[in-house]
Amino acid sequence: MKKATAGRKVERDGANAEGRVGGDALAGNAGELHQTTGGEHPPLTTNQGLPLSDNQNSLRGSPRGPTLLEDFILREKITHFDHERIPERIVHARASAAHGFFELTRSLAKYTTATVLTEVGAKTPVFTRISTVAGGAGSVDTPRDVRGFAVKFYTKEGNWDLVGNNVPVFFIQDAIKFPDLIHAVKMEPDRGFPQSATAHDTFWDFISLTPEAMHMVMWIMSDRTLPRSLRMIEGFGVHSFRLVNAAGDATFVKFHWRPKLGLQSTIWDETVKLAGADPDYHRRDLFEAITAGNFPEWELSVQLFTKEEAEAFPFDHLDATKLVPEELVPLQVIGRMVLDRWPDNFFAETEQVAYCPSHLVPGIDFSNDPLLQGRLFSYLDTQLSRLGTANFHQIPINRPKCPFANHQRDGHMQIAVPRGRVAYEPNSLSTDSPREAPSQGFRTAPLKESGEKGRIRAESFADHYSQARLFYMSQTSHEQAHIASALVFELSKVEHLHVREAMVGHLRRVDEALAKRVAGGLALEKMPAPAHAAAPVQNMAPSPALQIIGKMKVTLEGRCVGILIADGSDGEAVNALKKAVLAAGADVKVVAPKVGGAKLADGATMSADGQLAGTPSVVFDAVAVIVSEAGAHALAKESAAIDFVRDAFGHLKAIAVDAGGRLLLEHARVEGDAGVVDVGDRKGFLSAAKTRQWAREAQVRTLA
């Protein structure tokens, strides 16, 4: 990794400004930071009218050093942003959560004193909240969006909050840009839409002027942001943290959650229809799984590396837009998390839970990641605004399960009743008041910091395209096509041609073939010039670990199969298939034209779990159609039945059919393939149902 050096001053928009990454302006070229249709720009100022020379970088003690509390500009900007919404969260407003436990299976005592990471076999209570980012609390579960993944560990030494996302990187390198990012991605303020969507001008305009976001763009345009279930997503701590052992030695660590059920995503068309069929699809799925005793489970893995190893990386691990490939630093599994109890009250727990990255325990410490440094301030300030009191830690869901005591007093909604005359430390008037504990208390890792104070980013943060290329080139051909198609879809919603062209220019730095696919999908008359690259673009070895399809777990466990029946259906065939599916670990739901069920061929009535009109095939992982010939002819007159089989086929799902089922497929003009099997071939159906029929995709849709 390149050593951090101070950037030089450059001319930008006609004014001297401290540049970053060797003097590169945000857009890559000096003078192009504010790309507009013309006109004079007033100077950007603080709320007190102080003109700003640099709105891109926080004030740091050195280019790779910690962010300084002195930075009043950062604090004003973040504070105002944190207080923009009350009481709903500005981001991560739409969420589901559950109680559970974390069990350590491998001790990290060599690296840390944190008991939660050293006591093998110990079970630590947790509360885990998984959320969308862009939409409000009333939005739907399934848009293309990053998912927040936050875990509160109620440890013996206090609460530890591991607050991350389901992708390992982020859009920006410095927290001072977070308000700009979220303002850009949220609904446009003059019209109040779109809600929970990135397919609009303000988002892509910001991205086109922020090349550091290109790696994250690859992730959000991939299938990672279209999860099939919250039980089937990964979680990442995103930042590098430090583990500190008893000797005071520090080791860098990155945290990874891996789902037991493996990864699975939806098809874009399926996602759109899911939003209409069941806006609460993910929340319902998680609730039903926990209620049924099918407790979601994740492995916790870590990547551990020293300062010396980090300096040899071809990137800067303190840059939140970068990941550490597993092939470079392998993952080590150290424990598991099981979610086994749904909240008793959604508001009291899921809504009022307050996560802060600054909540940690002795033996864990921060890195100088400038995005993390800003989050340490922002999250606490947000909770103060959202929950209305400095006493939010006394709310039951936030309260530590270990003893805690200090001299903080009073404030809005004070629940505790502190006793005695002493509310300060040190004191000589009390024999039992809390005092500092040098031998067991939290200690910051001893580190040497040096450098020139200033608003400047390290040279080592300059490479914006290499890992974006790494991610794209690591995908399967199907996933690459989905990324290209997602970019075409999103950019087709952008009204301004210059923004679309700028994005294709960035894509040319990622992969020329990808850029051509997107340019073709946008019908651009000529290829835009490649964007300026502030650092040479590296060709890094592909990382198969970044795929979904390539490492998808071939299983039916945790999935759901829908069986469509009607009057006259063969009950024996339905029950035999249902038994086989349940034995394979999947759930089964019966769908009929009427919620009361259907009268079978033998005269018996089979109850239904869902009515056909309200239970489309999009809510299932695979389907079966077991109907009589007369039933098929009757269903052929129902658009919901035609859509049921057409969508199942179009979404690449396995379909089991009897003679009547094949007749319904003919009515829907669905041609069979290897994924359409006879209902009697239960083994063949179960095998096909464990994955998507990817070979079918080229027959059912045109991708970029």
pLDDT for the residue numbered 86:
55
Q: Which of 57, 99, 159, 165 is catalytic?
A: 165
First-to-last alpha carbon distance for the chain, in angstroms, is: 36
pLDDT for the residue numbered 546:
97
Which of 39, 47, 129 shows the shortest CA–CA distance to 93? 129
Sign for the CA dihedral angle at 167, 464, 70, 82 comes to: negative
pLDDT for the residue numbered 36:
45
Report how far residue 684's alpha carbon sits from residue 680's, in angstroms, rounded to the nearest whole number: 9
Mean pLDDT along residues 617-641: 97
Cβ atoms of 617 and 563 closer than 8 Å: no
Which range has the worst mean pLDDT, 11-20, 196-205, 248-257, 492-501?
A: 11-20
User: Is the model's pLDDT at 528 over the cut of 60?
Assistant: yes
Report how far residue 170's alpha carbon sits from residue 207's, in angstroms, rounded to the nearest whole number: 12
Mean pLDDT along residues 391-404: 93
What tokens were used for 394?
Answer: 């006394």
Which range has the worst mean pLDDT, 35-39, 103-107, 221-225, 430-434?
A: 35-39
DSSP string computed for 195-215:
SS---SHHHHHHHHT-GGGHH
Residues 6+ apart with CB under 8 A from 67: 58, 59, 60, 74, 175, 368, 370, 373, 374
| 92 is a catalytic site residue | yes
pLDDT for the residue numbered 637:
96
Cβ atoms of 632 and 667 closer than 8 Å: yes
Question: What does residue 632 show for φ and ψ, rounded to 5 degrees?
Answer: -65, -45
Cβ atoms of 592 and 631 closer than 8 Å: no
CATH class of 560-700: alpha beta
Mean pLDDT of the chain: 92
Q: Using one digit for the tens of pLDDT, what is the confidence trace for 260-293? A: 999 999 999 999 999 999 999 999 999 999 999 9
Report CA dihedral (394, 397, 402, 407) to the nearest 10 degrees: -20
pLDDT for the residue numbered 41:
83
User: Is the model's pLDDT at 22 over the cut of 50?
Assistant: no
Is-cis flag, bond preceding 87, omega within 30? yes
Question: For the whole prediction, is pTM greater than 0.85?
Answer: yes
Cβ atoms of 686 and 584 closer than 8 Å: yes
Cβ atoms of 231 and 268 closer than 8 Å: no
pLDDT for the residue numbered 39:
67
pLDDT for the residue numbered 14:
34
Which range has the worst mean pLDDT, 2-11, 377-386, 559-568?
A: 2-11
pLDDT for the residue numbered 44:
83
Cβ atoms of 139 and 278 closer than 8 Å: no
pLDDT for the residue numbered 48:
80
Cβ atoms of 151 and 126 closer than 8 Å: yes
Q: Which of 92, 215, 256, 317 is catalytic?
A: 92
User: Is the model's pLDDT at 669 over the cut of 50?
Assistant: yes
Q: Using one digit for the tens of pLDDT, what is the confidence trace for 364-385? A: 999 999 999 999 999 999 999 8
Q: Using one digit for the tens of pLDDT, what is the confidence trace for 427-472? A: 999 988 898 888 888 888 888 888 999 999 999 999 999 999 999 9
Which range has the worst mean pLDDT, 167-171, 241-245, 388-392?
A: 388-392
